Amino acid sequence: MLMADTGSEPGAGHTPVMLDRIAELLAPALAAPGAVLVDGTLGLGGHAAALLDAHPRMRLVGVDRDTAALERSRARLAPYADRVEFAHAEYDDVPEVLDGLGRTEVQAVLLDLGVSSPQLDESERGFAYSHEAPLDMRMDRTQRRTAADVVNTYSVAELTRVLRDYGEERFAGRIAQAVARRRAAEPIDSTRVLAELVRDAIPAATRRTGGNPAKRTFQALRIEVNAELDILSRALPAAVERLAVEGRIAVLSYHSLEDRITKRALGALATDTTPAGLPVPLPEHSPQLRLLTRGAESPTDQENEANPRAASARLRAAERIRRP
């Protein structure tokens, strides 16, 4: 069993989600000398450190959009510095990152989606509705658009769409109207103000169940600010394209929208597309991927007890069996 780091280096004590299962799924692809793993969402480097330790001949390309995360992971992965290359980029830019490194293909790709623990825990980042902070939510703080920009400049119709589609918020229209009334008096630039506004916009009976009523709104704004679903939709086929035959990809999702995109993207490439009515399958239409998980796998009860943030995780993985 791979163990999470517990030392004094940056990120120590952070428990990577479903670490043992991810290590098991990726191990066959990482066993060969010189195997390359792309961690497209490096974060604190927890998964990466464990895999580098388990595979002494493996090389890592660590990608993250968050410059603070890259600084921390660079310090955490210092013992493996001669086997690691870092890149500040979105994970749909992996092909360009690999081109810049002179690599045409890799043996494994890992995507651990969603917001990272430091982004949640550092109140000034504005991701958490439980802290008073500027309404920011940028994973990449070099970009300009913030959650405050979305809340204060989107039309009621646009804001309703974001809350409905990305937060699956059934009171999206009521919340958008409440936002419009409040911002007409003064800009909304605080997480506390927005959380209170959402709570007041939702019927009292609904507020009594289902946790904090602002959760879905904050999720929707975070997805919009960071273009998370658009990036994921582009990233999955791009990552598979760079996988060597027998290479593997593992994707951790944390809400149904991410998991749905992952399921469709991997499933499409794992399906024979021979036109109906032909007597035999056509080789050029045979599947490019073999699914390694039956549906989406969830953390064990023991892991959920030890790491409550793992509870919503869903893992899918696939192996490359053919190039187009």
Q: According to the annotation, is 112 in a ligand binding site?
A: yes
User: CA-CA distance, 191 to 123, in Å (whole number)?
Assistant: 10
Q: According to the annotation, is 189 in a ligand binding site?
A: no
Q: According to the annotation, is 301 in a ligand binding site?
A: no
Q: According to the annotation, is 119 in a ligand binding site?
A: yes
**Nearest CA-CA partner of 14 in 22, 4, 24, 23:** 4
Q: According to the annotation, is 47 in a ligand binding site?
A: yes
Decide: 107 and 242 in contact? Cβ < 8 Å: no
Q: According to the annotation, is 45 in a ligand binding site?
A: yes
Amino acid at 143: Q
Length reported for the chain: 324
Q: According to the annotation, is 40 in a ligand binding site?
A: no
User: CA-CA distance, 260 to 265, in Å (whole number)?
Assistant: 9
DSSP 192: H
Distances (CA, A) of 220 to 188, 224, 261: 16, 6, 16
User: CA-CA distance, 192 to 134, in Å (whole number)?
Assistant: 9
Q: Which residue ranges make up the annotated binding site?
A: 45-47, 64, 91, 112, 119
- Residue ranges at the known binding site for S-adenosyl-L-methionine: 45-47, 64, 91, 112, 119
